[in-house]
Structure formats: structure tokens, C-alpha cells
Structure 1
């Protein structure tokens, strides 16, 4: 109940981290989550900070809000958050940044579904399809992030 995609970016980890940890920019990158906002007094990334994401499942629907909480936050290295539904943790998303030999950053985006019985059943029945959709979406997200981060390094517009 896990999947990941890694993309190399010709930008330093600090630049990439600033982009991936700004959840208010997710609409620029994600094929499913078209907006997000910090909630409950949060204004930026830190462990425990809460935000909500507005999702259009598979890019077409249904459309709904998700409750999220930052679970890992190490500038230049790691940004992760949990997605909740009905008060229960459903999914964990994470961006791990590793300086690449020769320059730039290898960025791995991953998801891990909760291990509850309903999620295990879902994964058994539809997991292959969802994993493929998530991996396609993660690659698209990372390619869009790469374009922005590399443009920032080159001095271009965000």
C-alpha cells in the first residue's frame, strides 16, 4: 500500500523544499488537488500544522475537501503530511530531497495508505489501479515542480 516516484531537479534542495512545502501552491502542480489553505492558525510548514486540500479525484470528480496535518518538516530534506477522512488517517504523502552527485536534487514523492482493514480491502480490489494513477500523478506533480524550481534557479519567473 505504497508507491513512489523520483525525479532529478537541477536546483538545490533548499529551493525545491520551498516549493514543495508551500501547500498553497499545490494547485500549480497536482493533477488532483487544485487548491489548499492553512487552517487552525497555521501559516506555514511545521510539524503539527494543519491545512486542507480541495481535491478533484482523478482530475474529474468527485470534488471534496481533505483535512491534512504536517508529519515531517525538515527544511531542505523532508516534507510530509497525513490526509484524514472521518477523523482517521487515510494516507501519508512525503517529499524526500537528496542532494545529487554532480549537483541538483533527487526528489522522491511517495504515498503510504493506512493499514486499516477497509484500506487493505480497497487496496486488494482497486489498489493496482489507484497505485498506477497515483504514480502517474506524482510524476506529473514532480515534473511541474521541477519546472518551477529550475526556473527560480535560472532567475526566471515562478
Structure 2
């Protein structure tokens, strides 16, 4: 049986959110700093801006190096597809017109704090996960489900770390 990529074609998504007791501008500074993300992620090991870019803006590209115990190590090039300070920062992995995944942080002012959501979409293009699906096409839904749960777990850890950083920085400034 040949893998059809139907689940990817459906572009499954996952998200997580948290309330951060810090102004949206402070949280924006953290989520739009791609160099911070490897410190927060268990998979993302290193990032660097490409094309001489140092500030996120639509069209900016960055190289990411990642590792996973079951998937190995890999590099990707991502393109910033949304950047509206201090509300939204998103990037497409691979070809921005047909990405292997899309990631986004959305910030919403709530009182004196911020609701921060991290969201991800798999596909529509294949990714490193495609090798596992091609090897076991009858388990495609389970493979995608497990990977989305990994994304969700990573997001919750990212959000907790961002919350700690934003609230700690604010508390330190108030001293």
C-alpha cells in the first residue's frame, strides 16, 4: 500500500495557551526572539537568522537545527509568514507556499497581562515524519496523533518557560 498523505492533507493542528502576568509587549520581546527558543525546546537545538536578518519580519528566514530520539537530527529553513507586533509571530517550515508545518504565537492583552497561545499545523507537505508513515501506512493516524501530542507537550513546556521568564523579569524590575 502506498502512503497517500491524507492526514497531512487534512493539516491537523494542535495548540496550548497560558495566562502570563506581564504586559503583552514584554511577552512579545520573548516570543519574537528566535535565539531564545533552543533554550526552551527539547527538540530545537540551534537557530540562526539567514540573509543578514536580525529582526523578524514577513519574509525573514532562519535555519533551525533539531534533534529527536526517534527521528534523528535535521535542519530546516523557516520563513516568517506573520509578524504583527505585539500580536502574532508565525513561521512556515520549508516552502512557505506548501510547508511541512506552520507554527504561530498569538498574544492577547488581558487586563495587565497576556494570554499567550502557541499553535502548530502539520503539513500539507511531507516532513521527516513521512518516513515513519511510509514504512507503516496502516499506522498513519496513530503516528500523527503521537507526534501532535509531542508538539502539545513541547508547547506546554515552552509556555511555562516563557511565563516564568516574563514574570521573573517583571518582578526583578520592580525590586
Shared fold per TM-score greater than 0.5 = yes
1:35 & 1:15 partners in 2: Cα distance? 23
Alignment TM-score, normalising by the size of structure 2: 0.79
Once residues 25 and 150 of structure 1 are traced to their aligned partners in structure 2, the CA distance between those partners, rounded to angstroms, is: 16
Q: Does 1:57 align with 2:74?
A: no
How many angstroms does 1:2 deviate by? 0.2
- Between the aligned partners of 1:124 and 1:145, the Cα distance in structure 2 is 31
**Paired position in structure 1 for 2:151:** 134
Structure 1 Cα separation of the partners of residues 108 and 94 of structure 2: 28
Aligned to 1:147, what secondary structure does the other structure show? helix
SS of residue in 1 equivalent to 2:30: helix
Give the secondary structure class of the aligned counterpart of 1:124: helix
Number of residue-to-residue matches in the alignment: 151
C-alpha separation in 1, matches of 2:27 and 2:79: 20
Matches within 5 A, 1:104-123: 104-116=113-125, 118=126, 122=133
CA contact 1:90–1:114 (8 Å) conserved in 2: yes
Runs of at least 5 residues in structure 1 that lack an aligned partner in the other structure: none
Deviating runs (4+, > 2 A) in structure 1? 121-125
Unaligned runs of 5+ in 2: 1-11, 134-139
Tell me the distance in 2 between the aligned counterparts of 1:103 and 1:8.
11
Question: So what's the TM-score if we normalise by structure 1?
Answer: 0.87
Deviation at 1:103, TM superposition (A): 2.5
- Distance in 2 between residues matched to 1:150 and 1:98, nearest whole Å: 16
**Of residues 5, 11, 17 in structure 1, which corresponds to 2:22?**
11
